[in-house]
Amino acid sequence: MTTAQNDMFGHVAPDDVDDNTTASDTWLTPRWLLDALGSVDLDPCSDPSRHTPAARHLVGIEGDDGLAEPWRGRVFCNPPYSRGSLPIWAAKCVDSLPRCDWIVLLIPAAVGTKYWHDLIWTQASMVGFPRGRLDFGGNDSPSFDSAAVLFGNHPAFVSKTMQRIRWIRP
At 26-68, the pLDDT tens digits run 567 888 999 999 999 999 999 888 888 999 999 888 888 999 9
Structural domain includes residue 81: yes
pLDDT at 132 over 50: yes
Domain assignment present for residue 145? The answer is no
Helix (H, G, I), strand (E, B) or coil at 126: strand
Mean pLDDT estimate for the chain: 83
| Residue 41 structural domain | 24-133+157-168
Give how many domains the chain has, as a whole number.
1
Residue 63 lies in a domain: yes
Q: Is residue 65 part of a domain?
A: yes
Of 21, 27, 48, 51, nearest in space to 137 by CA: 27
At 82 the pLDDT is 79
The answer to whether residue 1 is domain-embedded is no
Q: Exposed, middle or buried by CB within 10 Å (0-12, 13-18, 19+), for 167?
A: middle
What is residue 112's predicted lDDT score, i.e. its pLDDT? 94
User: Residue 151 falls within a domain, yes or no?
Assistant: no
Residue 151, classed as helix, strand or coil, is strand
SS3 assignment, position 43: strand
Residue 32 placed within a domain: yes
**Nearest to 167, CA basis, from 126, 131, 133:** 126
Q: Which of 120, 114, 126 is nearest to 162 (CA)?
A: 126
3 inside domain: no
80 has a pLDDT exceeding 80: yes
